[in-house]
Amino acid sequence: MDLNDFLPVSREDMAARGWDWYDILLVTGDAYVDHPSFGTAVIGRVLSDAGYRVAVLAQPDWHGPEAFAAMGRPELGVFINAGNLDSMVAHYTAAKKRRSEDFYSPGRRTGLRPDRACIVYANRAREAFPGTTVLLGGLEASLRRFAHYDYWDDRVRRSVLVDAKADILIYGMGETATREAADRLRDRRPLHGIRGSAVMLSAPPKDAVLLPSCEEVAADKTLYARAARTENAEHDPIRGHTLAQRHGDRYLVVYPPAMPLTTAQLDAVAALPYTREPHPMYDDAGGVPAIEEVRFSVIHNRGCFGGCNFCSLAFHQGRMVTSRSHASVIAEVEAMTRHPLWKGYVSDVGGPTANFRRPSCDKQLKEGMCPLRHCLAPKKCEHLIADHSDYLSLLRKLRAIPGVKKVFVRSGVRFDYVLYDKNSPFLSELVRWHISGQLKVAPEHCVDNVLGYMGKPPAAVYERFMDKYRSLNRRYGKEQFLVPYLMSSHPGSTLADAVELALYLKKHGARPEQVQDFYPTPGTISTCMYYTGIDPITMKPVYVARTPREKAMQRALLQYTEPRSAPLVREALRECGREDLIGTGPECLVRPAAPGGKKREAAADISRSHQSRRVSADGRGQKKSPGRAAAHPREDAAADRRGGRRRGRGPGHA
């Protein structure tokens, strides 16, 4: 592959293009992958298409300014993002342990980006180029734009714009705002007032809604919850207001979100000349693993009105769904068929939620999304329009393209939305044509009270979906499993609730190999609950499992069949007064401890586990009958970064 097909990454690359200067240095915490699933590639291509000379500095050595200065001073500024994930989430599990792999780095190597990458990169950029403009963007900057609770420091931190001492922060999907910022820098115009951006000013605009100050929210959890409530309520491109939050003697001013890209604009971004490959400089290091799941995938939509409180999508991409045209998606797939590695399979036609192709209702197109309300939970809004016809038509066209053997849907499917589309053939065709052995869905829990705090529908809705899915698999002679995402220790979940979830899993024959312990990532409603003990939607108290011991017990209950979980399961059952579930009966979750101390007990648990696994081939253990709930191994916090889960199937654009 010709290096000139990529954006330049060195002085030699610039010289090959005849450049002796350039406009923008685009710095990222990920390896440089020129694919539309990566925000750096999208923003780089958008700016380049607008006529700017853009150079990419991927995963630079941050210990000094030398790597930043290597390509010379950019004419307009340094545009920084931490990568497709928050750098702290990329580095640490929910238990705050260091991860052993980084799928966005060559050879899965860890340690190639710093903690709090936006702040560190901004410092190095100013050292390399004193007086240059520094712009922050991407997911890390977006979710940390206000004063926010930081799980890793266990305290409220200032806006990342303040800590990085940057000139402007772009939040959300930033094509429009970043292009406007570049235009203003070129024309020497002020940067304040751009929709989808935040700046620091000496006084707030007259029309701004004032939030409690950074100092106030750090000192008072009730004020923190009120601020979070307002921040989420005003995050709407149609009815949202400018927000201002005092930090010391200056004001953080966050302008309303940029309007979502129209279908024509999304098509134009998708049509830019991506190579769809990692830069060849990574070949000797083993390439960049993150490309493998997305190389032949298509992002057909943006935004999500699902309303899960633990999900950062609502606070980043927003809740208003927009989608690409059929012609655009078809052209992308046809181009895939000419790729030298193409084998006939479209790995995914998805996005934040695969089966959303339109806004949740027509009302929001004029009035915006309803503040602090969910379209789907705890019950369907009367204005919701559930319609899969356009998505179904798109999938039919894609599987008819010459050279395409299979078109899969591997992004999560919102199962309640499927049920609300009465008499639709969508699920039937999904089962027949578009599942690669397993379908991802996210019931998360089985206790309705906990589901309410999550922003999820009642458990009975998932039960109806399971029944329908099982029936369709039988009809078509398929053996395809449901992959239910489950979460432990979410705010509102007590130890007794975790016991109920374990019993639910036992009833349905599910044996999760990995589950997700709730991870308080910046900016979400659920993180506010975790920090304050207050539900910011209702401003009422909510129970929070905080201690490592209780969190470990809740997690162990979801994996009650694992031998390593047995001691914690027994401890949890005793604490809940459910010793009746410790025994050898069919209703029990765990056997009694073996006499003779911990070593003998562990050996007995392992032996019983091996016996259980030998029996599992009959369809009641690891091998499930069609439609039966199954388990899916995944990292507990990175949100399925190989396939995209709820943190954002699409890129966190700079």
Which CATH number covers residue 482?
A: 3.80.30.20
CATH number for the domain harbouring residue 134: 3.40.50.280
Q: Is residue 114 domain-shared with residue 9, that is, in the same domain?
A: yes
Residue 643 lies in a domain: no
Q: Is residue 317 domain-shared with residue 177, that is, in the same domain?
A: no
What's the angle, vertex CA 605, arms to CA 603 and CA 611, rounded to 5? 105
Q: Is residue 181 domain-shared with residue 304, that is, in the same domain?
A: no
Structure confidence at residue 509 (pLDDT) = 86
What whole-number distance in Å separates Cα of residue 213 and Cα of residue 465? Answer: 45
Residue 333 lies in a domain: yes
Q: Is residue 482 domain-shared with residue 590, that is, in the same domain?
A: yes
Q: Is residue 191 domain-shared with residue 319, that is, in the same domain?
A: no
Give the number of domains in the chain: 2
Residue 287 lies in a domain: no
Q: Is residue 24 domain-shared with residue 130, that is, in the same domain?
A: yes
- Long-range pairs, 585-593, Cβ under 8 A, ≥24: 589/499, 589/502, 589/503, 589/506, 589/557, 589/560, 590/560, 590/566, 591/566, 593/566, 593/567
Place of tokens 């449901």: 482
Q: Is residue 299 domain-shared with residue 195, that is, in the same domain?
A: no
Residue 243 lies in a domain: no
pLDDT averaged per 10 residues in sequence order, the chain, 654 residues: 89 96 98 97 98 98 97 98 97 95 96 98 98 98 98 98 98 97 98 98 97 98 98 96 98 97 98 96 96 96 95 92 98 96 96 95 92 92 96 98 97 94 96 92 95 96 96 95 92 97 92 85 97 97 96 95 94 96 95 72 50 35 34 32 35 48
Q: Is residue 455 domain-shared with residue 557, that is, in the same domain?
A: yes
What whole-number distance in Å separates Cα of residue 497 and Cα of residue 306? Answer: 23
Q: Is residue 553 domain-shared with residue 425, that is, in the same domain?
A: yes
Q: Is residue 302 domain-shared with residue 188, that is, in the same domain?
A: no
Structure confidence at residue 228 (pLDDT) = 98
Domain residue limits at 345: 293-618
Last residue of a domain, one of 165, 199, 233: 199
Q: Is residue 335 domain-shared with residue 187, that is, in the same domain?
A: no
Give Cα separations from 63 to 24, 81, 92 (angstroms).
Answer: 22, 17, 21
Residue 240 lies in a domain: no
Residue 308 lies in a domain: yes
Residue 286 lies in a domain: no
Residue 178 lies in a domain: yes
